[in-house]
């Protein structure tokens, strides 16, 4: 999702040759194949958005897969970048790397200050290792490798499979299906009180492309957040309004809700021009239109 938005912006920038990488082009979990590909491309900068991702349900069911696959991908990409002289790399991490009880809004120095929220742990552990790899590479080799920690993103290119989708696309899919079938209610995991900060992926992608193409010095870690925060219940209510569903929401409190609140301190990114972001209402409307287009609904 994010990589697609980054590439769109890079394509429109004069003097930039953007080279996208997908699963068909190269298996990024294969270190030898990845290094060979990097050597053939001879990139000046890399924006590393690749990861094995999914929603809370899949993380609970397949924790080992989340951990090991992401460790392999990150080791292949970061090692290949170093081996092939890439001087600038933006590593996309996750806000889930921070402890469950971190004071809000979260600052980068909260990393490794406490235990991670249970269902997020396998993915977060891999991302923490990736962040530290970049920090150490910067220290040892003098390269500009920076970890970008985004808040919850949504937008074009989202996973629509309800078993693996994140919060917003999962909500869109469930509510749309309920509307089409005439179901009287939609089930939501948890009690609906957990608060989440949401960001439209095209906003993040456009900014990352510009930063990657610049020579501005960046800190070891940089947060990207929108300040657009609401409860899970409010998110589903907004989705119902956009979809035009008039049924009820039911909350399954036997299922995990995730951390009670997760909001990032994005002051540093704002000072570097990360501002004037798309509102949730508008982003959600665009996301639903894209969902209808790609699913043929």
Is 123 catalytic? The answer is yes
Dist CA 56 CA 1 (whole Å): 18
Q: What's the Cα-to-Cα distance from 154 to each of 2, 48, 200, rounded to whole Å? A: 9, 18, 5
The answer to whether 131 and 221 are in contact (CB under 8 A) is yes
Angle between helices 63-83 and 121-141 (to 10 degrees): 10
Which contiguous run of DSSP H or E holds residue 118? none
Q: Which of 212, 215, 216 is nearest to 204 (CA)?
A: 212
Selecting among 123, 154, 236, 288, the annotated active-site residue is 123
Dist CA 119 CA 163 (whole Å): 15
Bridge partners, residue 106, by sequence = 264
Which parts of 71-114 are beta strand (E)?
Answer: 88-92
Dist CA 230 CA 109 (whole Å): 24
- Whose tokens are 């610049």? That residue is 214
In angstroms, what is the C-alpha Rg of the chain?
19
Dist CA 62 CA 57 (whole Å): 9
The catalytic residue positions are 123
């Amino acid at each position: 999702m994010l990589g697609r938005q980054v590439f769109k912006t890079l394509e429109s920038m004069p003097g930039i040759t953007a080279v996208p990488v997908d699963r068909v082009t190269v298996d990024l979990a294969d270190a030898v194949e990845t290094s060979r590909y990097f050597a053939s491309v001879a990139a000046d900068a890399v924006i590393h958005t690749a990861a094995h991702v999914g929603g809370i349900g899949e993380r609970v069911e397949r924790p080992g897969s989340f951990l090991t696959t992401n460790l392999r991908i990150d080791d292949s990409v970061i090692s290949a970048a170093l081996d092939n002289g890439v001087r600038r790399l933006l590593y996309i991490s996750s806000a889930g790397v921070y402890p469950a009880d971190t004071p809000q809004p979260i600052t980068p120095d909260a990393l490794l200050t406490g235990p991670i929220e249970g269902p997020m742990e396998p993915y977060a552990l891999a991302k923490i290792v990736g962040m530290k790899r970049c920090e150490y590479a910067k220290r040892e080799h003098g390269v500009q490798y920076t970890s970008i920690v985004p808040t919850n993103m949504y937008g074009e290119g989202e996973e629509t499979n309800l078993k693996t989708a994140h919060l917003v696309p999962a909500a869109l899919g469930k509510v749309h299906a309920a509307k089409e079938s005439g179901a009287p209610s939609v089930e939501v995991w948890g009690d609906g009180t957990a608060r989440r900060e949401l960001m439209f992926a095209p906003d993040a992608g456009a900014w990352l492309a510009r930063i990657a193409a610049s020579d501005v010095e960046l800190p070891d870690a940089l947060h990207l957040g929108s300040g657009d925060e609401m409860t899970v219940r409010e998110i589903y209510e907004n989705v119902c309004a956009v979809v035009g569903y008039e049924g009820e929401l039911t909350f399954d409190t036997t299922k995990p809700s995730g951390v009670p609140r997760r909001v990032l301190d994005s002051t540093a990114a704002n000072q570097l021009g990360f501002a004037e972001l798309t509102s949730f209402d508008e982003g959600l409307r665009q996301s639903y239109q894209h969902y209808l287009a790609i699913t043929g609904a």
